């Protein structure tokens, strides 16, 4: 499908989705007519995920149900191939720190070599979420830290159930 400049992808593992991800998704949904949240579905992924693909998709769907132009879909394989398949012209990602920048610069070069017509767009993380990561939230949950203002209520409950000691 030819890339459509009204359609964007927001990719990620979302294990689990955080308010930082949701902030980027909501901002992207105000910029594009349609935003497809692309959830990695690789059961053999190194280290595995705490939540299954279906659970991760469910959390994102529930947390974005008030945004009419969001679709949530699993994907595996090359991100740019999925973007082309869905007709998305932009890949929208959040950037928090210099460390994100280095990683994203490399990904950007690789992705552009594969598909020069798919543009990547980076939104600076909102200040209150600039420290927030799924791995940090999982660590907090494992040791009984308070995660109620970092992830949706449903996700906090599921994390405490699965990881809490």
Length of the chain measured in residues: 165
Cis previous bond, 16, omega within 30? yes
Token pair of 13 as six digits: 């593992």
125 makes contact with ligand PNS (CB under 6 A): no
The CB-of-137 to ligand PNS minimum distance in angstroms stands at 13
Site string for ligand PNS, 65-94 (x = CB under 6 A): -------------xx---------------
Rounded to whole angstroms, the Cα distance separating 139 from 101 reads 23
Closest CA to 55 of 151, 148, 154, 136: 154
13 makes contact with ligand PNS (CB under 6 A): yes
**Which of 7, 8, 9, 11 is close enough to bind ligand PNS by CB under 6 A?**
11
Is residue 1 within 8 A of residue 85, CB to CB? The reply is: yes
**Smaller CB distance to ligand PNS: residue 103 or 144?**
103
The binding site for ligand PNS (CB under 6 A) comprises 11-13, 40, 78-79, 107, 110-111
């Amino acid at each position: 499908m030819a890339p459509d400049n009204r359609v964007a992808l927001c990719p990620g593992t979302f294990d689990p989705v955080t308010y930082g991800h949701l902030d980027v998704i909501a901002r992207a949904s105000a910029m594009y007519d349609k935003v497809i949240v692309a959830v990695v579905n690789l059961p053999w992924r190194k280290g595995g995920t705490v939540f299954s693909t279906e659970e991760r998709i469910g959390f994102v769907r529930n947390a974005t149900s008030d945004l009419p132009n969001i679709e949530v879909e699993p994907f595996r394989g090359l991100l740019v191939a999925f973007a082309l398949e869905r007709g998305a012209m932009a890949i929208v990602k959040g950037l928090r720190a210099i460390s994100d920048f280095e990683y994203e610069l490399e990904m950007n070069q690789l992705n552009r070599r594969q598909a020069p017509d798919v543009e990547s767009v980076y939104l600076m993380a909102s200040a209150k979420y600039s420290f927030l990561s799924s791995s940090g939230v999982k660590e907090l949950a494992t040791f009984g830290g308070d995660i109620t203002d970092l992830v949706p209520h449903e996700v906090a409950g599921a994390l405490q159930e699965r990881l809490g000691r």
